[in-house]
Amino acid sequence: MIGRRAAVGGLVAGALAAPRGPALATLLKVQRRPSETFTLANGLQVVVLPSRRAPIVTQVLVYKVGSADETFGQTGIAHFLEHMMFKGTGTLAATEFSRTVARNGGRDNAFTDFEMTGYHQTIAADRLELVMRMEADRMVNLRILDHELRPERQVVLEERRMRVDNVPSELLDEAAREQLFGRHKPYAMPTSGYVEDVKRLGVNELSAFYRRFYAPNNAILIVAGDTTADSVRKLAAKYYGPIASRKVEPRRRPSEGGTDLPQRVMRADARVAEPRWSRDWLAPSYRMGETRHAYALQVLARLFGGSETSRLSRALVTDSKIALSASSGYGASSLGLTSFEIAVHPARGRSVGEIEAAVGAQMKRVLDGDVGADEIERTQNQLLASAIYSQDSLASGPRLYGRVLATGGSIADVDEWPQRIAAVRPDEVVAAARHVWRDEAAVTSLLAPADGWQ
């Protein structure tokens, strides 16, 4: 499950438009990660990422459905169904899936976020057929039974209590999202669901959601590790191939955010030890809004607050010492609009006014055009280096491909991301900042101890 904070978009695929202008000659070169893709007759897209580093494989099955596909009154259903997927089929008893993976020396888990739901296993290469057979089985043969559902509902609610209700910053984040994206709108509703909604969900609701979205033509299978495309093709055809496709309705997202922006939200809570100031702006993604800014916004997020050597951190933490930390973030892989965030944990005794003035001064430098080619190049190399390191991971690679493909992207978008980042120019970063950093599209959040923060 993901929270409100969007990670810096350093390892995500690009928009459909081709980049303008050549990359700088001194930028790092990122080799294309070997990959092969094919689609079964029933519509299941398969991606193979071969790697001989170790005799293991990771299978990730991503469904193109997440909490943003829910409706108000049935929030949390995508996440609840993720839990129920481990409760057995006609041939597997409840929890037998995970126990079988563990007995064979592997590990498995699942995740739900706004745009997708994923199931993954990492296991010895010669056990790929085992996990593929079980995963295909629960794609079509899941049993959702009331005596399994009722106790699992308590697990889901307890997970929300632990991760959201007992964490003041998460509660504030939910309130901020409601303001930024509009109450009861897709990205405003929490992935964990509202408590009252989860309490009402039953067998009929979860079964209908399962039948509506869990189909091969609404899924992407990614297999990474010590295998070949031919081997995966044969296994996928054997186990996933016989599953019939079903009609899946197009996914829709609002093209506008919340009304009556700007807004300020505050949460004063006795559990808060250190205050936090943050501001979120509505921003374009790869798929919606002024998409031409998506790559420049990734560079801006890294340059402005993406590391301890970024502008914001140097100015507020290292130089003036008015903050303990300062950061910015942006995620472009979204079917709808997304957000650009700046967050600051102030030093003791520093006021809201001081933080906002200091952040504003650094933003003004960017908005005034004070962005040089050398600084852009250093930032691009940081992003490109992260792309190089990610190719060694059997975990981040499949998740990356799944997210890109689940949100309307292509393999080419993954492959061409380094070149598109390398082509970003200083004037494009300034233009992106001017487009996004507008008061009428912002929500400011204040997290404070019980006695407040001035």
8 A C-beta contact, residue 236 and residue 221:
yes
Name beta bridge partners: 280. Answer: 341, 443
How far apart CA 12 and CA 262 sit, in angstroms, is 29
8 A C-beta contact, residue 143 and residue 211:
no
Active-site entry in 70, 82, 135, 170: 82
Identify which of 373, 400, 388 has the alpha carbon closest to the alpha carbon of residue 30: 388
Q: How many CB atoms lie within 10 A of CB 110?
A: 18
Beta strands in 230-372 (DSSP E): 263-268, 276-283, 323-330, 338-346
How far apart CA 340 and CA 280 sit, in angstroms, is 6
| Catalytic (active site) residue 115 | no
Q: What is the DSSP string of 273-309?
A: SS-EEEEEEEE--SSSSSGGGHHHHHHHHHHHHSSTT
How distant is the alpha carbon of residue 17 from its chain centre?
Answer: 22
3-state secondary structure of 118: strand
Catalytic positions: 82
